[in-house]
A and B are shown apart, each in its own frame.
Chain A
Amino acid sequence: MKKVYAFENRCLGCGICEVYCKTAHSKSKDVIKANKNENVTSAIVIEEILQPKAISYFALQCRHCADAKCVKACISGAMYKDENGIVRNKEEKCVCCLSCLLVCPFGAVKKSKKGKTVSKCDLCIEVGEPQCVLHCPNDAIKVLDDKEAEALK
């Protein structure tokens, strides 16, 4: 399946991906309203890595694992893998027990700021294409299938 891959040699750590992630998962879908008035949690987070010469960054979000631990750990059946292999969270079922957050090996599930639920990457299924990738100014995140990603490694 296609998922979002991060390239730390290109990532500037500017945080534009986070801005557009919040926008895509907001009610208004407006970049100003979403970031100013709506309490949205970004499902993509810029991580810093301290290296000998400089700080390096990469954008972290859900890997949509084949054998997703968060789905197994979910006590309410909210976390599921859809027919396309995307790991998603049904907010109406979620009880915010944070079991998924605890088992995620990447730390890609976040407790949502807006209420009793968690926030994670859904590849912008509602909006179409992942907005973080669309707006990255330096091609540091790309949507690739496994083969393409392997070829780039």
Chain B
Amino acid sequence: MSLDFSTPLFEVIRDEKKCIQCKVCVKQCSNKVHSYDEEENLVKADDIKCVNCHRCVLLCPTRALSIKKYSLEFRENANWTGQAINEIYKQADTGGVLLTSMGNPKPFPIYWDKMLLNASQVTNPSIDPLREPMETRVMIGRKPDSLEYDKKGKLITQLPPQLELSAPILFSAMSYGSISRNAHESLARAATELGICYNTGEGGLNRDFYKYGPNTIVQVASGRFGVSREYLNAGAAIEIKIGQGAKPGIGGHLPGRKVDEDVSATRMIPIGSDAISPAPHHDIYSIEDLRQLIYSLKETSGYKKPVFVKIAAVHNAAAIASGVVRAGADAVVVDGFRGGTGAAPLRVRDNVGIPIELALAAIDQRLREEGIRNQASLVIAGSVRNSADIVKAIALGADAVYIGSAALLAIGCHMCHSCSTGKCNWGIATQEPELVKRLNPDIMYKRLVNLVTAWNHEIQELIGGMGINAIDSLRGNRLMLRGVGLNEKELEILGIKHAGE
């Protein structure tokens, strides 16, 4: 045995005056931080195991617990921060790639916060959504170049398949395997009640969830887990996942220990085997190859369902999106570098990709310039934190947004960045039956419904204030945005004026 260089990140503070030794914390911590010492009648904590997930803090009946940043400091150094040093220690210890979870936490600019919205004053009346009708429904799918009517005014043009959403919000792709069955059930039930969609992720669709089909987007990723004709026809739309914002350019790896009987049946792989998604689709090396896959999926689903293609926001996102639209996608999904994940190499998550705001503006602009914007809807993902982000995204040109991290927060996630350990104390990113149980779908689906309902109200308030009564009238209306503290280049890419202009 040699010396272990790791030190705790957090410190568990227990107020002994309040602690009643009920051992709730001991029973609830899957990381085994808390333990009860019978001899001394004391509950103790091993700080080094703590991931700061707040489970014990929230369940403690006497509020005796709090968690603080561990106070051990290195000598101050702007270059060699404590985190940088600890990462070296860890890699020197293990010789491995650093793994992490959730989205990029680095202090890169958040462009949502550097854009402000307009409101009507005097010359153009604002609209009160409590008194007047407001439309937040969106249709996702290819729109025809022109519409033709017969003499009686009946529409002759046959519309390509459209996905109707009651709000411009969808739940992001999170596979069964990466998240628990109960988390999946909560998302599916909430999407059904709300009239929006959730996404299966690449893990296939469990038999029990086929009933939520009209509100399900089934994903086809490079691993092709759980893909069959029945699966492709089970949902309301099909999504081909090329890339993911949190880890552009690399695939996925679900460890074998998470592949239990149910996950194995859903993914169509043997129990206990690692589920490895290759970095590329081995049958896609060009836009033409992508077109072949898009059309084979359309053929399989009888041209009745829109086919989405999801890419990560990378340097040439606009050109890539243009190719994707030309390949026949009914919707392009772009996932920004802040997008979440169940597990990703830390260096990739923190250093690869570009901000979704810039990618979105560039893609919308490019598709308009090429005259093909109508041929596909544009859905964005990658850290949409609130309703204002959604309104700004739509003003920049998005049709709808995917929310992943926000949805998980609604059902208990506390952003401890430990999904990849499989020991999620909130029953989300785990397959251990005792932990999965902690997420009661009867309670949690309602929280998701509440969140989206609240955001939808706020969207109505915000667009009403601009004098707009339908979300479709805001789309690409960049005059409703002004930048603050942005340079000329950023304003040019975003296609917006600076505040005051």
Q: Which residues of A does B touch, CB under 8 Å?
A: 9-16, 18-20, 31-32, 35-36, 53-55, 135, 137-140
In the bound complex, what is the Cα–Cα distance between A11 and B438 (angstroms)? 8
With contacts A31-B61, A137-B59, A138-B443 taken as known, whether A12 is within 8 angstroms of B20 at the C-beta atoms is: no
In the bound complex, what is the Cα–Cα distance between A13 and B18 (angstroms)? 22
B24 lies within 8 A of chain A by Cβ: yes
Asked whether B443 lies within 8 Å of A139 as measured between CB atoms, the reply is yes
Asked whether A19 lies within 8 Å of B22 as measured between CB atoms, the reply is yes
In the bound complex, what is the Cα–Cα distance between A16 and B22 (angstroms)? 8
Asked whether B20 lies within 8 Å of A15 as measured between CB atoms, the reply is no
B105 lies within 8 A of chain A by Cβ: no
Asked whether B437 lies within 8 Å of A15 as measured between CB atoms, the reply is no
Asked whether A14 lies within 8 Å of B434 as measured between CB atoms, the reply is no
What 4 A-B pairs are tightest by C-beta distance, nearest first? A35-B20, A54-B433, A19-B61, A138-B440
Asked whether B434 lies within 8 Å of A15 as measured between CB atoms, the reply is no
With contacts A13-B27, A14-B28 taken as known, whether A31 is within 8 angstroms of B20 at the C-beta atoms is: yes
Asked whether B18 lies within 8 Å of A15 as measured between CB atoms, the reply is no
Asked whether B59 lies within 8 Å of A14 as measured between CB atoms, the reply is yes
User: Taking the nearest CB of chain B, how far is it from the CB of A153, in angstroms?
Assistant: 15
Q: Which residues of B does A touch, CB under 8 Å?
A: 17-18, 20, 22-24, 27-28, 59, 61-62, 432-434, 437-438, 440, 442-443
Asked whether B61 lies within 8 Å of A16 as measured between CB atoms, the reply is yes
Chain A residues with CB under 8 A of B433: 53-54
Asked whether B62 lies within 8 Å of A15 as measured between CB atoms, the reply is no
In the bound complex, what is the Cα–Cα distance between A135 and B22 (angstroms)? 14
Asked whether B18 lies within 8 Å of A32 as measured between CB atoms, the reply is yes
Asked whether A15 lies within 8 Å of B438 as measured between CB atoms, the reply is no
User: Taking the nearest CB of chain B, how far is it from the CB of A131, in angstroms?
Assistant: 11
In the bound complex, what is the Cα–Cα distance between A20 and B61 (angstroms)? 8
With contacts A32-B62, A137-B59, A138-B438 taken as known, whether A15 is within 8 angstroms of B22 at the C-beta atoms is: yes
User: Taking the nearest CB of chain B, how far is it from the CB of A117, in angstroms?
Assistant: 23
Contact of B437 among A9, A18, A35 (CB under 8 A): A9
Asked whether B61 lies within 8 Å of A135 as measured between CB atoms, the reply is yes
CB-nearest residue of chain A to B24: A14
Contact of A139 among B61, B434, B440 (CB under 8 A): B440
Known A9-B437, A55-B434; further 9 A-B contacts with Cβ < 8 A: A12-B27, A12-B28, A12-B438, A14-B24, A19-B61, A31-B61, A35-B20, A35-B22, A139-B442
Chain A residues with CB under 8 A of B443: 138-139
CB-nearest residue of chain B to A11: B437
CB-nearest residue of chain B to A35: B20
In the bound complex, what is the Cα–Cα distance between A13 and B26 (angstroms)? 11
In the bound complex, what is the Cα–Cα distance between A137 and B57 (angstroms)? 13
Chain A residues with CB under 8 A of B59: 14, 16, 137
User: Taking the nearest CB of chain A, how far is it from the CB of B443, in angstroms?
Assistant: 6
User: Taking the nearest CB of chain B, how far is it from the CB of A73, in angstroms?
Assistant: 32
With contacts A53-B433, A135-B61 taken as known, whether A15 is within 8 angstroms of B24 at the C-beta atoms is: yes
With contacts A19-B20, A36-B20 taken as known, whether A31 is within 8 angstroms of B27 at the C-beta atoms is: no
In the bound complex, what is the Cα–Cα distance between A130 and B28 (angstroms)? 23
Chain A residues with CB under 8 A of B61: 16, 19-20, 31, 135
Chain B residues with CB under 8 A of A31: 20, 61-62
User: Taking the nearest CB of chain A, how far is it from the CB of B385, in angstroms?
Assistant: 26
Can you list 17 pairs linking A and B with CB atoms under 8 Å apart? A12-B438, A14-B27, A14-B59, A15-B23, A15-B27, A16-B61, A19-B22, A19-B24, A31-B62, A32-B18, A35-B20, A36-B20, A54-B433, A54-B434, A137-B59, A138-B438, A139-B443
In the bound complex, what is the Cα–Cα distance between A125 and B396 (angstroms)? 59
CB-nearest residue of chain A to B20: A35
In the bound complex, what is the Cα–Cα distance between A56 and B438 (angstroms)? 12
Chain B residues with CB under 8 A of A14: 24, 27-28, 59
In the bound complex, what is the Cα–Cα distance between A140 and B20 (angstroms)? 23
Chain B residues with CB under 8 A of A10: 437, 440
In the bound complex, what is the Cα–Cα distance between A13 and B24 (angstroms)? 9
Chain A residues with CB under 8 A of B440: 10, 138-140
Chain B residues with CB under 8 A of A53: 433
Chain A residues with CB under 8 A of B434: 12, 54-55
Asked whether A32 lies within 8 Å of B20 as measured between CB atoms, the reply is yes
User: Taking the nearest CB of chain B, how far is it from the CB of A52, in angstroms?
Assistant: 10
In the bound complex, what is the Cα–Cα distance between A10 and B23 (angstroms)? 19
In the bound complex, what is the Cα–Cα distance between A135 and B62 (angstroms)? 12
CB-nearest residue of chain A to B17: A32
Asked whether B24 lies within 8 Å of A16 as measured between CB atoms, the reply is yes
In the bound complex, what is the Cα–Cα distance between A13 and B438 (angstroms)? 10
In the bound complex, what is the Cα–Cα distance between A16 and B61 (angstroms)? 7
In the bound complex, what is the Cα–Cα distance between A18 and B23 (angstroms)? 11
CB-nearest residue of chain A to B28: A14
In the bound complex, what is the Cα–Cα distance between A139 and B439 (angstroms)? 10
Chain B residues with CB under 8 A of A140: 440
User: Taking the nearest CB of chain A, how far is it from the CB of B58, in angstroms?
Assistant: 8
User: Taking the nearest CB of chain A, how far is it from the CB of B293, in angstroms?
Assistant: 39
Chain B residues with CB under 8 A of A55: 434
In the bound complex, what is the Cα–Cα distance between A13 and B435 (angstroms)? 11
Asked whether A12 lies within 8 Å of B437 as measured between CB atoms, the reply is yes
User: Taking the nearest CB of chain A, how far is it from the CB of B28, in angstroms?
Assistant: 6
User: Taking the nearest CB of chain B, how far is it from the CB of A34, in angstroms?
Assistant: 8
Chain B residues with CB under 8 A of A12: 27-28, 434, 437-438
Chain B residues with CB under 8 A of A35: 20, 22, 62
CB-nearest residue of chain B to A10: B440
CB-nearest residue of chain A to B64: A32
Chain A residues with CB under 8 A of B20: 19, 31-32, 35-36
